[in-house]
Amino acid sequence: MKTYWTNYHSHSHYCDGVESLRAQVEAALRQGVGVFGFSSHGPVHFDNAWSMKAHKLDAYLAETRALKQEFSEQIELYSGLEVDYLPGHSGPATYAARLDYTIGSVHYLDLNEAGEPWEIDGSTEKFMCGLTEVHGGDIRKVIGLYYGRIREMLQSDPPDILGHLDKIKIHNLRSRLWDENEDWYQAQIDETLAAVAASGCVLEANTRGLYKKNLSLYPSLPILEKARRLGIPVMINSDSHAPAEITSRLARTALQLKGAGYKTLRILHKGQWQEVAFDEEGLYL
Ligand SMILES: [Zn+2]
Ligand SMILES: [Zn+2]
């Protein structure tokens, strides 16, 4: 049996990625990808720099469908979105009926000091402003809000795939704000993993931090080890924002997951969610 890579988390010029959907497919083929999912940032109810504009959604869906047909002999393609969970406004269920799958991510947490949605996935400078001015510098409180919001999504509007679970750590280089090993932080992780297990979502091991920020995987390997003990299904995604990034660090991550005891990955293949064996060369499709 041959090995192929899969990647269900990818961006393009419909949102903040570079180059067309077609360019992503052509690059995926060159990089040995057998199953590829489009997952632009879904529209949100306010203006931001990186989400798809609402008026582009129909064109995006039509183009992904056309590419699926055109490339059906060469690669399995799926049409998804990375959806922000914004209670009262939108979440995975807002778009799910029109898609093959949803990735649910928390990039915003309530409001910042200016009364705008507070981005936890943007610059550390802006994150620190919100942390200091709205939350009195109380990082434990903010971490609790962040993981609490993820649990709320898992319980009330679960996606197919949970996006970059511990991404808030991008502001914690050299553990400047908190120590990931402390009991209170691990308690948040444990409670959240229990919610992931109960939801049936697939947890992604997202490699973007490895090749973009010189950080670790999202989530960190010890969290993935805990997830395995809970029987949570996992897939590996690159969260690519350019064709060249589609398979970045997938091989290294596959090796690490093997080392952590994972024997299979949960993927969408031939229209079904299923467990597939893998090694550092790819998945056995
Ligand atoms: Zn994201
Ligand atoms: Zn993404």
Question: What is the distance in A from the centroid of ligand 1 to the CA of 136?
Answer: 26
CA 257 to chain centre: 17
Residues 175 and 117: beta-carbon distance below 8 Å: no
Residue extents of the structural domains in the chain: 3-284
Nearest ligand to residue 17 Cα: 2
- Predicted pLDDT of residue 131: 97
Å from CA of 194 to ligand 1 middle = 21
Give the Cα-Cα-Cα angle 235, 98, 199 (nearest 5 degrees).
45
User: What are the backbone angles phi and psi of residue 76, rounded to the nearest 5°?
Assistant: -90, 120
Query: Cα of 47 to ligand 2 centre, how many Å?
Result: 18
Task: Kindly report the three-state secondary structure assignment for every residue of the chain.
Answer: CCEEEEECCECCCCCCCCCCHHHHHHHHHHCCEEEEEEEEECCCCCCCCCCCCHHHHHHHHHHHHHHHHHCCCCCEEEEEEEEECECCCECHHHHHHHCCEEEEECCEEEECCCCCEEECCCCHHHHHHHHHHHHCCCHHHHHHHHHHHHHHHHHHCCCCEECCCCHHHHHCHHHCCCCCCCHHHHHHHHHHHHHHHHHCCEEEEECHHHHHCCCCCECCHHHHHHHHHCCCCEEEECCECCHHHCCCCHHHHHHHHHHCCCCEEEEEECCEEEEEEEECCEEEC
pLDDT level of residue 240 (50, 70, 90 thresholds): very high
CA of 43 to the centre of ligand 2 (A): 13
Ligand nearest to the backbone CA of 121: 1
Question: What's the CA-to-centroid distance between 121 and ligand 1, angstroms?
Answer: 8
pLDDT of amino acid 167: 97
Q: Tell me which of 3.20.20.140, 1.10.260.40, 3.90.550.10, 3.50.50.60 is the CATH number of domain 3-284.
A: 3.20.20.140
Q: Looking at residue 77, what is its pLDDT?
A: 98
What percent of the chain has a predicted confidence (pLDDT) above 90?
98
pLDDT of the residue at 213: 81
Over range 200-226, report the average pLDDT: 95
Residue 127 above 90 pLDDT? yes
2 C-alpha to ligand 1 centroid (Å): 31
CA of 193 to the centre of ligand 1 (A): 18
pLDDT tens digits, residue range 27-67? 999 999 999 999 999 999 999 999 999 999 999 999 999 99
pLDDT band at 134 (very low <50, low <70, confident <90, very high): very high
What pLDDT, on the 0 to 100 scale, is given for residue 215?
Answer: 82
Rounded average pLDDT over 212-227: 93
In this model, does residue 1 exceed pLDDT 90? Answer: no
Q: Which long-range contacts (CB under 8 A, 24 or more apart) does 69-72 make?
A: 71/25, 71/29
Q: How far is the CA of 92 from the centre of ligand 1 (A)?
A: 13
Distance 73 CA to ligand 1 centre (A): 30
> Whole-number mean pLDDT of the chain?
97
The pLDDT of residue 214 is above 90:
no
**Residue 25: pLDDT over 90:** yes
CA of 198 to the centre of ligand 1 (A): 22
pTM equals 0.98
> 164 CA to middle of ligand 1, Å?
7
